[in-house]
Amino acid sequence: MIMLFRVIIYTILIYYVFKLVFRYLMPLFISKQARKMQKRQENAHEEYINRKKKEEGKVTVEYDPEKQKRNDKDSHGGEYVDYEEIK
């Protein structure tokens, strides 16, 4: 009987300790994670803006047909080989 009473008391104590700990620690953890995510988002936005800025008068070519042909050949894994089904 005493053992059951101890288990119940320890369970209640553990419950309230976790409740108090999470009441104070979880908001700190969540706010820290939110600040990290916000900082990452700001860095990504600055990087995007810097990438989009182009110097005035500068010309860039984004399409290179030779490079695209090489990439197409590599992406298919080789040439197509015709086959016959043997029955």
Confidence band for 2, pLDDT divided at 50, 70 and 90: confident
Q: Which residues contact 54 (CB under 8 A, 6 or more apart)?
A: 60
**pLDDT value, residue 56:** 57
- What pLDDT was estimated at residue 5? 92
What are the structural domain ranges in the chain?
A: 8-43
Nearest to 41 by CA among 58, 33, 55: 33
pLDDT-based confidence at 75, cuts 50/70/90? low
Write down the pLDDT at residue 72.
Answer: 56
Structure tokens at 39: 């900082």
Q: pTM for this one?
A: 0.44
- What is the C-alpha to C-alpha distance for residues 17 and 59, in angstroms, rounded to an integer? 65
Alpha-helix runs per DSSP H in the chain: 2-52, 65-76
Rg of the Cα atoms in the chain: 32
- Contact between 54 and 60 under an 8 Å Cβ cutoff? The reply is yes
d(CA 53, CA 59): 13
